[in-house]
Structure formats: C-alpha cells, structure tokens
Amino acid sequence: MSVRGVRGAITVEVNEETPILQATTKLLHEIVKSNGIVPDDICSVLVTVTGDLDATFPARAIRVMEGWELVPLMCALEVPVKGSLEKCIRLLVHVNTVKSQREIEHVYLGGAQVLRPDLTKS
C-alpha cells in the first residue's frame, strides 16, 4: 500500500460562509466517490484558499462530516500569483491506497476546471 495525493479544486461565486462550506463538502464528496475513499484510509487533508476567501475556514465543512472527525486537517493560503484563478478552494487529500498514480482520479469542478483541463472529466 502507498500514500497517494488526490488533488481537487472548486470555485465559489461569493466570499460567504455558506457557499464556501457547501463547495468544500461538494468537492470532498466527489473526490471520495471518484476514488473509493473511506475516512480511515486518509492520512491528512491540506486545504488552501485564495486570499479573497476569508469568510470561514473550509476545513470546518470536513470536520463535521461523519467519520472525518479525527482526520488531520490544515488550512493555508494559496500563493497570491497575479492573474491566478480567484475564489478557489483546493484540496490535497493524502490517502493510503493500493491504486497507482495513474489510477487516482483528481477532481476539478466549476471554474477550477481551467487549472488542469488535462485531468478534468467532460
């Protein structure tokens, strides 16, 4: 078994608590579903947000999900590169899995699909 990183990103329309928490939950659910992940297999989750999203900590959405109470979470600010995608939440889920790197399904939703069009499902 190896530790693999599963990437995901999603954008929100407004810097408000509810949309940020809902988007985080939606993104994580899609990552979990696409990769057959259960919380016990998770090593940790790194959550980043762009500087324009400061209404809440996105990790709050994960913390209240059933089975995710003990998963180590960390929030950070994304590097503020000029012209980069705005209002974006990114997840890096570290998971114990037998899957190879090529078998991992990364998830990019909404406006975040522009980040990795090569990995975005149509």
Structure tokens at 47: 């959550």
Q: Does 63 participate in catalysis according to the annotation? A: yes
Architecture of the domain delimited by 2-115: 2-Layer Sandwich (3.30)
Residue from 17, 63, 69, 86 carrying the catalytic annotation: 63
Q: What is the pLDDT of residues 17-41, one digit of tens each?
A: 999 999 999 999 999 999 999 999 9
Domain layout of the chain by residue ranges: 2-115
Q: Which amino acid is at 28?
A: L
Q: Does 108 participate in catalysis according to the annotation? A: yes
Q: What is the pLDDT of residue 119?
A: 79
Q: Does 17 participate in catalysis according to the annotation? A: no
Q: What is the pLDDT of residues 71-103, one digit of tens each?
A: 999 999 999 999 999 999 999 999 999 999 999
- Is the Cβ–Cβ distance between 90 and 20 less than 8 Å? no
SS3 content of the chain, % helix, strand, coil (to 5): 30, 30, 45
Is 60 annotated as a binding-site member? no
Residue from 30, 60, 78, 105 carrying the catalytic annotation: 78
